[in-house]
Amino acid sequence: MLSQLTDRDWLWIAAEFYLVGFLIGVWSLMRGGKPSNVIMNAIIFAGYLIQLTGLYFRGMAVGGCPLGNTFELFQFTAWSATTLYLVVGVAFRSSILGFFTASLSATLTLTSLLIPAWDTTRRENIFGGNTWIEFHAAFALFSYGVFALLALTAAMLLLRNYSLKHKRLGGWFSFLPSIMDLDLISVRLLGTGVSIMTISLAVGSMYWIRDTESVNAFKLILTVAIWAAYALALSMRLRGKLISSRFAWTCIILFVIALASLGPVNSSRPPEPPAIGS
């Protein structure tokens, strides 16, 4: 039975797990309690493993890391954010962060699955067997996953600021981590994301310099612009020029822009290598 499932089938099941995690969180909060850490993490971990299985089969089918169309880019971003949550976020023992992560992963995976046009064409062997270029692309997109988790902690920071300003400290607001904790993890996530993207660009630049004609100028400018925007935000935050709500809104807006750029970046790819049917 399981052997008959396609990669999309696995990814649908993973999306449903993430959605269940989100719905359980909503139900718990509406009842005045917070989601169980154990239950929330178990559901997210199950969805993560199933999504990893789907991406593995997709990778086997296309002959490399599945980053060849908008569908795969959204799936990989969701997987990256979930990976980081399971590695780092669990240590904060915040079921609310798990709830937000489940919400984000459900949104990204379901959106990509519900738009067939994003997956009408699967590009095969898009990195031409070059391990370093594949590493560059995967690392760059993994940084987007870091920025996704950053956007979640930034949203939680805004909610905590709101609760303190309006003296709403009860209910589900009481389950939010402190402002200091949220600010600390947000700064660390921003630094991590910028560092990962810097490494990705450094690796990619070694090949761009050798063969500048193979580089799509629009894709390069857009990617560097996003990196520069995040790097500037980090610099301003460390110098105390961007704090509190302005810092949180900046992180959220930058992620929306980065996410919106995935479509144009993917469409800027050359038509070759050849595609295989979905």
C-alpha torsion 97→100→101→105, nearest 10? 180
Residue-level pLDDT at 158: 92
Closest to 256 measured CA to CA, from 105, 148, 155: 148
Single-letter amino acid code for the residue at 73: L
For 67, the enclosing helix (H) or strand (E) is none
Residue-level pLDDT at 277: 47
What SS3 class is residue 277? strand
Distance CA 66, CA 118 (A): 13
Long-range contacts of 174-182 (CB under 8 A, 24+ apart): 175/29, 175/34, 175/95, 175/96, 176/96, 177/92, 177/94, 177/96, 177/97, 181/92, 182/153, 182/156, 182/157
Instruction: Give pLDDT tens digits for 9-39.
Output: 999 999 999 999 999 988 887 777 777 788 8
Report if pTM > 0.75.
yes
Distance CA 95, CA 101 (A): 10
Distance CA 57, CA 34 (A): 36
Residue-level pLDDT at 75: 95
Beta strands in the chain (DSSP E): 121-123, 275-277
Give burial (CB, 10 Å; 0-12/13-18/19+) of 166: exposed
b/e 108-143 (16+ beta carbons within 10 angstroms → b):
bbbebbeeeebbebbbeebbeeeeebbbbbbbbbbb
Distance CA 122, CA 233 (A): 35
Q: What is the pLDDT along the chain (278 residues), one digit of tens a residue?
A: 666 899 999 999 999 999 999 999 888 877 777 777 888 889 999 999 999 999 999 999 888 888 888 899 999 999 999 998 898 766 666 667 888 899 999 999 999 999 999 998 777 777 666 777 778 888 888 999 999 999 999 998 999 888 888 777 666 667 677 888 889 889 999 999 999 999 999 888 877 666 666 566 777 788 899 999 999 999 999 999 998 899 999 999 999 999 998 877 666 555 544 444 44
Residue-level pLDDT at 228: 97
Residue-level pLDDT at 221: 86
What SS3 class is residue 33? coil
